[in-house]
Amino acid sequence: MGFGTRMDLPDFTFERAAFARGMIRVAGIDEVGRGPLAGPVTAAAVVLDPLRIPPGLRDSKQLTAARRQVLARQIFDCAEVSIAHATVDEIDRLNILQASLLAMERAAVELGAVWHLIDGNRLPTALHGRAEWIVRGDARSLSIAAASIVAKVTRDRIMVDLAQQHPGYGWEHNAGYPTPEHLAALKKLGVTPAHRRSFRPVYQML
């Protein structure tokens, strides 16, 4: 069965396989914010209760903002959740890939699960031997889908707050991604402390 179409829905197959190997607590981990020019990268780790999984979980990108908000509240109500970040300074110092792995590692450590399902094709160094990576995991694993929703909702809220501190860039709408609105404001208003100076459109302005 192929993955990636709009009809594909995540399930609990990876989690059940981990349970069958004796893993008592299995966390799904995902991050959001690799592509934006501003703001942190945010990761979430979620341990779902197999008997209380909110209906309708899927890759956060397939959901409306309103639906993500509803599901995030339900996830917090019935699951164990941890959220962590890598800062703009860490992104510039480490590079975005390593900062993303760092955020996921921090979320995992905070939650203390036995086994971890990681979205993508790399594992944080500290989780080697205690995790598996799953390409397009947010479309295949319910735990990772839940993590993707929590991470997205959390980071969007951060960007709304940053938009109030640095108005004019449209971060409340574009979450820091390089939209025409954001790029035009970058040229007009300049670089803020929340911008990632290692990203080309930003360092070209410096």
99 in a structural domain = yes
Residues 6+ apart with CB under 8 A from 68: 60, 149, 152, 153
Give the pLDDT band of residue 2 (cuts 50, 70, 90).
very low
Q: Where are the alpha helices (DSSP H) in the chain?
A: 13-20, 65-78, 88-94, 96-111, 142-165, 171-174, 180-189, 200-203
196 in a structural domain = no
Q: What is the predicted pLDDT for the residue at 1?
A: 28
113 in a structural domain = yes
- 3 has a pLDDT exceeding 70: no
Q: What is the pLDDT of residues 149-183, one digit of tens each?
A: 999 999 999 999 999 999 999 999 999 999 999 99
124 in a structural domain = yes
130 in a structural domain = yes
- When the pLDDT of each residue in the chain is averaged and rounded to a whole number, the result is 95
As given in the structure block, the two tokens for residue 92 are 């510039």
Segments forming the whole domain that contains residue 113: 13-154
Coil vs helix vs strand at 153:
helix
Higher pLDDT, 7 or 177: 177
Give the pLDDT band of residue 8 (cuts 50, 70, 90).
confident
181 in a structural domain = no
102 in a structural domain = yes
200 in a structural domain = no
CATH code at position 61? 3.30.420.10
Q: What is the predicted pLDDT for the residue at 153?
A: 98
Q: What strands, in cross-sheet order, belong to the sheet with 115-119?
A: 80-86, 41-47, 26-32, 115-119, 131-134
As given in the structure block, the two tokens for residue 64 are 């409306």
Domains of the chain: total: 1
Give the pLDDT band of residue 130 (cuts 50, 70, 90).
very high
